[in-house]
Amino acid sequence: MTAPVDGRLGERQAMAAAAMRDDRDDAEPRNRQLGGDEPARILVVEDDFLIAMQTEAALAAAGFDVIGTAATAEQAIELAEKQRPVLAVMDIRLASKRDGIDAARELFHDFNIRCIFATAHDDETTRKRAAPYSPLGWLAKPYSTASLIALVTAAVRGEE
């Protein structure tokens, strides 16, 4: 599990990851990239530290490779350029002038990275603004760990 951008990795995160372990006996690992043996690489873009930590812990516990967390659009783009995730779990409201849809636009156009939007701002106007960047799905906050893992798994498998 990687530490968040600001370097804080606490005991709570380790405990959350341990608590969310899933011992399923799937014939096909759900966390693998389509046609690959390596865990799917996921970027978490969320400006609320606790939500970012919980999201990272849940994804890591499910076997995904969380390449990092970003609190701003600029951090997200920098991490994506260096780490090349297969997708990003993206909040809409971020800790910068640019929002998650702006970040999604750049990720999509520059790196062909698509997003799952996890947001409390799930309205028609927001969805229309994000539509040109081919969202993989939407998670309305508050969302459950199970719905997060299910949507990321489906997206990684190409079952959008």
Q: Report the alpha-carbon distance of residue 2 to residue 71 in Å, rounded.
A: 15
Confidence at residue 30, expressed as pLDDT on a 0 to 100 scale: 56
| pTM of the complete model beyond 0.75 | yes
Ranges of each domain in the chain: 38-157
Instruction: Please tell me whether residue 54 adopts helix, strand or coil conformation.
Output: helix
**pLDDT reported for residue 115:** 98
* C-alpha–C-alpha distance, residues 88 and 135, integer Å: 10
Looking at the domain covering 38-157, what would its CATH class be?
alpha beta
Residue stretches of the chain with pLDDT short of 50: 1-29
